[in-house]
Structure 1
Amino acid sequence: MANFCCGLLTAKREPVPLKSVEVELEVKDHVATVISTLIYENKEDKPLEAVFVFPLPADAAVCHFSAKVGQTHVVAEVKEKQQAREEYDDALSSGQQAFLLEESDQSPDIFRLSVGSLPPGESASIRLEYVTELAVQADDGLRFCLPAVLNPRYQPPGSEGASVQVSSVPASMVPYTLSFSARVSSPRPVWKVESSSSLEPLQYLNPEQTQATVKLAAGHKFDRDVELLIYYKDAHQPSAVVEAGQDSAKPGSLMGEPVVMVSLYPEFPQAVMSSLASCGEFVFLLDRSGSMSCPTSHNKREETRIGSAKDTLLLLLKSLPVGCYFNIYSFGSDFRHIFPKSEEYSEKSMEEALKKVEEMAADMGGTEILQPLKHIYSQPCIPNQPRQLFVFTDGEVCNTKEVINLVKKNAGSHRCFSFGIGEGASSALINGLAKEGGGHADFITGNDRMQPKVMQALRFALQPAVESISVTWDLPKEVSATVLSPPITTIFQGQRSLIYAQLSGKSSEAAEGCVTVKYSLAGHPSQNQLHFSLKPAGDTGLTVHRLAARTLIRSLELEEGLSRGQKDEAVKKKVVDLSVQSGVNSSFTAFIAVNKDNGQSIQGPLVRRDVPTPRSWGFAGFSSYSGSHAQRRPQCAPQVLGSQMALPTMFGALPTPQCAPQVFCGSPMTVYGSMCAPQVSPSPMLCGAANMRFMGAANYQIAEDYYGSIPTARSKEGCLRGRLIKKSLDIFGEAAETPEPQRRRKDPLLQLVSLQKASGCWMLDAALASVLGKTSKEVEKSKPAPVNKEVWATILALMWLHAFKTDAKVEWELLALKAASWLRAQNAPCMTECVAAGNALLGCNVQADALKI
């Protein structure tokens, strides 16, 4: 391997032409504009082609791409993807500089940027701009995420589209820098801005505190997603923004006419919200791929993704209503289910499920989510038990669109709630599942706990289903509205519903419009209404138009995906036309810029440099990018990876861009990014556990020679699971892990929850006394004489929750309501006396009214 004396180096000891990434974020209310500037520099003596595959938010509308080389500024155009690729190739062949930006065919949250023919000693500044809506969190915060981590995406055998492997390195080894600043403005005061990364203090720009700026603190490494949570005072009031059309656009087109963006936040009557459903079929789908043994985040390396998911399943199972049905699926390279079909919720079925959850580990290989979903949908729905699907995954799949299409096909039979766990979870997959499944999506990163977010989703699932949703417009007679958004199929209490509509016709600036959303809630007709001015707002640019175009493009792409068997070219043409007209990206188009003013042609063969992206701990060196321009490039021949051959490792990348199926220690394996899925029954070894391990001392030596040194600190803990041959154990030792059951029981809240019965009560025993910090004798002695043991135990458990775990109320509130309901059904005497005795025993002051008994 050659050594270079200049520039940043990859794990392969090659220079990295990307030097820095500068991101400027501008947030206006709940819409974000992001401008990224990427600085490239060629310090080698040959012309380069730099290829950078990176994540973006799934709903981002990329609307500008340009390059500045020397004094020349080149602005890219949006063209049909194949045409753009051919123009790029032609430009490179003729010695011209060219720049190509394209979205993955399979996942809209992955992009590929190619910088072609960068001469020796030359620099290039790439500007990328996109707009996106900010997701509303359960605590009313608005979430912005700048994704940095691109983990390997598992592509199952036989799935649609080809994949190309791209370079990635451990997040701590990313060789370029990141600077990030944000400006926030809103009609309402900015209350606070939080982040999992260190921020400089929030700076207000006016006395009303409606404008503020914030930056990442000095020393930030580009080693994790940058997440901002923005909170406004009096947050999320219904609003409407009308944006004027583009003068130069074709009359009557989307870009040539005004567009309105309506934001509604429905509020349901308290009487309806207080009566949660007591029925339903709850299906939990848990990712058990090898990557789920990774830490949840850099901030909580002692907590694994699988461990957090198992804790959450415990809370969910204890919180389910009596009389419902449930089942638990887990998946990796294949899938399993606890029951052949959903079982009625009872003490017996709950205990059986919990026992099997305790035994679960991240030991099932790849991330093949499509097959378990197909099996779930093949099961007949249970009459009068609405199906609610909860999906827990780190979202590392390549066939994202195929999965989302399947959920959409079955949207009428269920609601889908999805949770992305850890850095690098695919926003396209997580948001797409919930959007097309009529549910709610959330992400668990940084210091987040999974449990409160999932329990909030369970509350949504238990809300009465909103039915018969319709949207009507009341506009001046000379104005009409064409709705661009998909029909609203789901409404949740306090959650935003966005509607985009194109307005045709002329009206006076003083004219007003009104939009009304009508629906049936628990059998009662309800509606939300918003009046708004038709006068276009100032200084919005074309943000609303681009977001509207992106919404319409995504709907059309999904329509094309559902009818792909019929080769729906008409839909594809419509997407391409809309993408080109609006200047917004799609899966069928790409941004292409050719510098035709660089004088003489660039001589000599291009040297390709793959710019590495950061990945979470423990992933191997190549992740998959589906449908990219580079898939036409040569692939390496099959290899035999044995004791005398170098092999891909979790610490870096293969020296070849793509590898065909390989034979690994005698067993055929197929490589998908960094993951290997067994094609035949393998010998005792690690396979399909999110990365390949060194097999034998000779391979260890080769890898050590190749990388210089092996970073073993996390190699024992990150994603290293599976069956190992003896030599591998001799080299690496056992993974330093605490058994999950023992670890979880250290949390007093989870320990108390684990003791609750399916009916909602607790038993008076030594385990309960231990959680309360008392002896069995003390607890029994304090019991009022007329009260039976189960009632006394349940009252004590409720009082302990209200007295000592108020900060986690969202996690235990539902199971506490079930316990209170059980107590009321007992019609037990002396409840006031019991509460007084409980306060004396526990040393607290809980009021009887708080327990709702």
Structure 2
Amino acid sequence: MIGYGLKGSKLLQGEVYLKEVGISGNICGEYVEISIKQVYENKGKENIDGVYTFPIPDTAVITGFEAALGGRTLKAIVEDKAKAKKIYEDSNETEVNFLSLEEPSPNVYQFSVGQILPGESVKIKFSYMDMLVYEDDSLMLTIPSVLQPRHMDYEQTNVDNEYKSSLNLLIEPLAKINIESPSHKINVEWEEDINLAKVTFDENNTRRDEDFVLFLTEEKPVEAAGMIYEYMDDNEDKGILYLRLLPKLDNLEEEKPNNYIFLIDISHSMVGTKLEEAKNALQLCIRNLSEGDSFNIVAFESKLHFFSDFGKVPFNEENLRKATEWINSLSAKKGAQIFEALKYALSERNAIGCSTILLFTDDIVENEEQVLQYVKDNIGDNRIFTFGIDTSANSYVINKLAQLGYGKAEFIYEGERIDDMVLKQFSRIESPQVDIQEIDWGSMKVERTYPRTIDYLYNREPFSIFAKVAGEIEGKITIRGKVGIEEYIKTIDLDGLDLKENAELIQRVWSRKRIESIEERMRTERGEVYDSMKKKVIELSKEHGIISPETSFIMLEIIEDPVLGMPITHIVPLNVSEETEKNISHANFLDVPTFVYRQTGIPAKEDIQKNGDNAVLDFKYPRANILRVLAKNQFADGSFVDINKDQVYNKLETTAMVLLAFTLGKDDISMYSNQLTKSIKFLLKAFEENEVWFDEKLSIEAILALRVCTQKGIIKGQLSEQAERVLSQLSLKLQGYGNEKAVNLINSTARVTLRNIAPVLFNVSEDGKTIKERLIITDEKDSIYNLAKLGILKSV
């Protein structure tokens, strides 16, 4: 919600009115910058302390905020963090001018602007930059709703107050798109001869009391698209080339057995939440394995503990059950033999080949050079993916281990979920990928690129490349690599890309990515190199107004002097708590939507220790936690079922409902793609082996599950043909039951949503407006079916 809070004075009915809401913004490809302006008026008889509350998406970066009231204009600017702190400490501003920025809850910010006098109007504007989620050949933009002014401790007032509402959104897409909004009536105007659209509200839209949602659906998705931005710098032609790659590797998919070794640190420093999170991540990892894979788990403290004393074991139902119990039994102990664990993982061999090694640790490695040299000498064809847990981890060694192991390092800090990060990475490991060998930029003079190097492109995962070019951007770019043993060559003709004149947004994106890239490299540097990188981050941050871990916001006050007839400016300190400052500066859209690990609704530590995973089942916690619990209870064959109802029919019905729980809603479920694919294969195989199990009810559930999975892009490649065949046969079967409502629903081409499928899945009231379901959730293993239902109901 976006609202205006009041504090410090008695609330009078009708004191503050919202007069105007104006939304403007630019979308360039996958990136967007949104500015929201709101005008309020204090119609009361007393001064009011204004506290402006606004949310931003958890993937967004604040790019500015300002307030205009009483002849003053207050505008946020970026300054070196040390200087900003000194300005605040040296300030003698009065309470009337007191300004602060806080984050009372995740991704919801409060901006205190000082006192508003009776009869005075205040104009608030804030801006943020974000990367849109790409799914199902569509980009989705969501702008939070606007609420009327409200007292922070009392009921909302002025609910009947009318206000002006406007939208001015310019869209520069990468390809031809269709633009639609399921939430508001909009007008879309296309500029002649150029691929540029202007989106405004229909005249009938006078209010903004619900989220504004916009879908940009590509008419014909392409593997490579981009834009060119040209500008002048010191009288020299410059340009930024922005490319988006979307590899389609389904036809090169090759299912082959893989081998995994999971190394988990159970030293004393892991005690408590960190160990529980790591164990949960392991439970999900092993459920991502497939038939034919082999695995072993090694827990290390002062000595090594093996799940299997005889090396890797095949992935099957029995070994999954045993591994689940073994992981649950792990507890923290003294010591940490990380070197010995790595030695074991790199020396273990079997008849199939080498391994993918996943290492979870918060250990500080003392003999780091010895460890790194050993890995370098013995890596062979193994790969290592490292996960540094908490800030105590030795970031240099964690990074270098992954680099030497042809993998990737990730760091999990306090409040971040390990399982999200691991499953994203695991999904990449399992999917086909392009191993990049060369990018040929042709005749262009490329000064710098982001990323600096590209190792892999992943199947159907959008990947952005930026290049800063001196001179003209022309010719062709050729990307060469391999998918397994197959050659991969993609040539991009730059003459066919759109030329854009407004480079402001893309320059901001470029700057933010450079800042985050430098910050990432700073973790492994020391001394003069570190100081030089820090100086560059501050320079970029101030130049482009992009907040960073090395900078902070201060406020520039501008007052019109009636005598001089000119503005007078001075710096006003802004009070920002250390925690809020950290959250703003670390807002991370660098790899969105692939890696976003902000804390969202994690139960309290004592709740987890007391109630285990059941702590996350409380209705007040997000739907995402329900999905995590479901994922952790998948069987080796891909099915889901209550532990005491393991008949085939129960397995089929529960699996279909779990698929719907995952795929309905707006969640990013790419991390679960391997598990969902296994569930789809289970349903398809069961139907082809014995379709008599599929009665009317199960046929409806299976059809809906398969349809949504197709819409979400989970069913792809060779699996698509099998799914289409089964869907056709299931539809014919359903027609034989004479259920006209279900048949009409199944034959509809509309997107599957809870609203249109609720009548055939749940008990609803006679007027069709209320779902009447009684869900009893006890122990999670006995409540999978009801958990799936709850996940579906919370998908709206």
Q: So what's the TM-score if we normalise by structure 2?
A: 0.55
Structure 2 residue matching 1:205: 3-state secondary structure: strand
- CA–CA separation in structure 1 for the residues paired with 2:345 and 2:693: 42
**CA 1:504 to 1:18, structure 2 compared with 1: closer, same or farther past 3 Å?**
same
Higher helix share: 2
Partner of 1:517 in structure 2?
479
Among candidates 689, 698, 705, match of residue 795 of structure 1: 689
1:88-487 correspondence to structure 2 within 5 Å: 88=88, 90=90, 93=93, 97=97, 114-118=111-115, 120-121=117-118, 122-137=120-135, 139-144=136-141, 183=169, 184=171, 186=173, 188-191=175-178, 193=180, 199-201=183-185, 203-206=187-190, 211=197, 213=199, 229-245=215-231, 247=232, 257-268=238-249, 270=251, 272-273=252-253, 275-281=254-260, 317=287, 320-325=290-295, 344-353=314-323, 380=345, 384-387=354-357, 408=399, 411-412=402-403, 413=405, 440=424, 458=427, 460-476=428-444, 479-487=445-453
Conservation of the 8 A alpha-carbon contact between 2:443 and 2:475: yes
Conservation of the 8 A alpha-carbon contact between 2:441 and 2:476: yes
Structure 2 residue matching 1:6: 3-state secondary structure: coil
1:615-626 correspondence to structure 2 within 5 Å: 625=580
Conservation of the 8 A alpha-carbon contact between 2:294 and 2:312: no
Say whether residues 1:588 and 2:550 are aligned partners: yes
Percent same amino acid among aligned pairs?
13
Partner of 1:555 in structure 2?
517
Farther-moved stretch of structure 1 (558-567 vs 512-521): 558-567
- CA–CA separation in structure 2 for the residues paired with 1:491 and 1:244: 27
Partner of 2:764 in structure 1?
none
**CA 1:771 to 1:265, structure 2 compared with 1: closer, same or farther past 3 Å?**
closer
**CA 1:675 to 1:625, structure 2 compared with 1: closer, same or farther past 3 Å?**
farther
Conservation of the 8 A alpha-carbon contact between 1:189 and 1:210: no
**In the alignment, residue 132 of structure 1 is paired with which amino acid?**
D
**CA 1:527 to 1:81, structure 2 compared with 1: closer, same or farther past 3 Å?**
same
Structure 2 residue matching 1:257: 3-state secondary structure: strand
Report Cα offsets for 1:139-169 as digits up to 9, x if no partner. Answer: 22224455799xxxxxxxxxxxxxxxxxx99
- CA–CA separation in structure 2 for the residues paired with 1:171 and 1:532: 58
Q: CA RMSD in A?
A: 7.0
Say whether residues 1:808 and 2:763 are aligned partners: no
- CA–CA separation in structure 2 for the residues paired with 1:551 and 1:123: 38
Say whether residues 1:79 and 2:85 are aligned partners: no
- CA–CA separation in structure 1 for the residues paired with 2:560 and 2:688: 79
- CA–CA separation in structure 1 for the residues paired with 2:556 and 2:121: 16
1:523-602 correspondence to structure 2 within 5 Å: 523-533=485-495, 537-563=499-525, 568-597=530-559
**In the alignment, residue 559 of structure 1 is paired with which amino acid?**
R
- CA–CA separation in structure 2 for the residues paired with 1:688 and 1:403: 31
Report Cα offsets for 1:300-346 as digits up to 9, x if no partner. Answer: xxxxx9xxx99x979983862323326699xxxxxx99889985413
Conservation of the 8 A alpha-carbon contact between 1:404 and 1:432: no
Partner of 1:709 in structure 2?
none
- CA–CA separation in structure 2 for the residues paired with 1:625 and 1:74: 20
Conservation of the 8 A alpha-carbon contact between 1:190 and 1:233: yes
Conservation of the 8 A alpha-carbon contact between 1:188 and 1:210: no
Conservation of the 8 A alpha-carbon contact between 1:467 and 1:520: yes
Partner of 2:10 in structure 1?
5
- CA–CA separation in structure 2 for the residues paired with 1:609 and 1:592: 9
Conservation of the 8 A alpha-carbon contact between 1:398 and 1:625: no
- CA–CA separation in structure 2 for the residues paired with 1:68 and 1:94: 18
Among candidates 630, 640, 648, match of residue 768 of structure 1: 648
Partner of 2:461 in structure 1?
495
**In the alignment, residue 514 of structure 1 is paired with which amino acid?**
K
Structure 1 residue matching 2:499: 3-state secondary structure: coil
**In the alignment, residue 466 of structure 2 is paired with which amino acid?**
Y
- CA–CA separation in structure 1 for the residues paired with 2:240 and 2:154: 41
Conservation of the 8 A alpha-carbon contact between 2:179 and 2:188: no
| C-alpha displacement of 1:388 | 6.6
**CA 1:289 to 1:182, structure 2 compared with 1: closer, same or farther past 3 Å?**
farther
Structure 1 residue matching 2:440: 3-state secondary structure: strand
Structure 2 residue matching 1:577: 3-state secondary structure: helix
| C-alpha displacement of 1:557 | 1.4
1:700-715 correspondence to structure 2 within 5 Å: none
Conservation of the 8 A alpha-carbon contact between 1:325 and 1:345: yes
- CA–CA separation in structure 2 for the residues paired with 1:810 and 1:416: 34
Conservation of the 8 A alpha-carbon contact between 1:99 and 1:592: no
Conservation of the 8 A alpha-carbon contact between 1:400 and 1:429: no
**CA 1:314 to 1:841, structure 2 compared with 1: closer, same or farther past 3 Å?**
farther
Conservation of the 8 A alpha-carbon contact between 1:470 and 1:517: yes
- CA–CA separation in structure 2 for the residues paired with 1:512 and 1:522: 32
Conservation of the 8 A alpha-carbon contact between 1:67 and 1:74: yes
**CA 1:541 to 1:130, structure 2 compared with 1: closer, same or farther past 3 Å?**
farther
| C-alpha displacement of 1:570 | 1.9
**CA 1:754 to 1:53, structure 2 compared with 1: closer, same or farther past 3 Å?**
closer
**CA 1:687 to 1:771, structure 2 compared with 1: closer, same or farther past 3 Å?**
closer
**CA 1:804 to 1:583, structure 2 compared with 1: closer, same or farther past 3 Å?**
closer
**In the alignment, residue 483 of structure 2 is paired with which amino acid?**
L
| C-alpha displacement of 1:561 | 3.3
Conservation of the 8 A alpha-carbon contact between 2:641 and 2:650: no
Conservation of the 8 A alpha-carbon contact between 1:467 and 1:519: yes
**In the alignment, residue 487 of structure 1 is paired with which amino acid?**
T
| C-alpha displacement of 1:238 | 1.9
- CA–CA separation in structure 1 for the residues paired with 2:256 and 2:155: 47
**CA 1:467 to 1:206, structure 2 compared with 1: closer, same or farther past 3 Å?**
closer
| C-alpha displacement of 1:574 | 0.9
- CA–CA separation in structure 2 for the residues paired with 1:465 and 1:715: 36
| C-alpha displacement of 1:577 | 0.9
Conservation of the 8 A alpha-carbon contact between 1:386 and 1:414: no
| C-alpha displacement of 1:552 | 0.4
5+ residue gaps, structure 2: 1-6, 265-269, 300-304, 362-387, 563-571, 585-599, 654-684, 720-727, 738-796
Conservation of the 8 A alpha-carbon contact between 1:19 and 1:175: no
